[in-house]
Amino acid sequence: MNQSSKSSNNSNLTGYAAQAKGKTGVMRIIKAAGYSRDGFLAAYHNEAAFRQVTWLNAALLVVLVFMPFDLVVKMVLVLASFFSVVVELFNTAIEAAIDHTSTERHPLAKIAKDVGSAAQLMALLLLALLWAMAVWQR
C-alpha cells in the first residue's frame, strides 16, 4: 500500500482513532504492546470469568512443570491453556462491545453472548480432555 493510500484511509479517522492509527515502525509496536497490556488489565479487572480462567491456567501451568509428561504433551497442554485464555479475551470483548451498543435485552445480543460463552465452554472442555488424556497416558 503506498503512502497516499495510507493517508486517505486514515483521513476519515478523527480523535483517538486518528492518533492510534498514525504510528509506524517501532513506535507502533510499543503502542500496540501498551494497548495489549491495557486489554489484559481491563479484562482482569472487569470480568470475573477472565480472572477465573487466568488463575485456572496459571495453576495448571505450575502443575505442568512438575508432571513427567513428554515435551510434546507439555507443549499441547500449554497451547490449550493459552487457547482458553484467548477465547475468554474474545468473549469478554464481544460482551463489552454489545454492552456498549445497548444494555437492552435483544435476541441478537443474547445470541452473540451465548455463542461467546459456548466458545469458551468448548475451549475449557478441550483443555480438560487433553489433561485427562495426558494423565491417562502416564
- Active site members: 88
Query: Is 104 annotated for ligand binding?
Result: yes
Query: Is 106 annotated for ligand binding?
Result: yes
Query: Is 74 annotated for ligand binding?
Result: no
Query: Is 55 annotated for ligand binding?
Result: no
Q: What angle do CA 61, 52, 41 make, to 5 degrees?
A: 95
Query: Is 105 annotated for ligand binding?
Result: yes
Which residue type occupies 58? Answer: A
Query: Is 114 annotated for ligand binding?
Result: yes
Its sign, for the CA torsion 78, 80, 81, 82, is: positive
Q: How far apart are CA 94 and CA 72, in angstroms?
A: 33
Query: Is 70 annotated for ligand binding?
Result: no
**Is the Cβ–Cβ distance between 47 and 92 less than 8 Å?**
yes
Provide CB contacts within 8 A for 97, sequence distance 6+: none
Query: Residue positions in the annotated binding site for substrate?
Result: 28, 88, 117, 131-136
Which segments are annotated as binding site?
28, 35, 47, 88, 95, 104-106, 113-114, 117, 131-136
Residues making up the annotated binding site for ATP are 28, 35, 47, 95, 104-106, 113-114
Give the annotated binding-site residues for a divalent metal cation. 47, 95
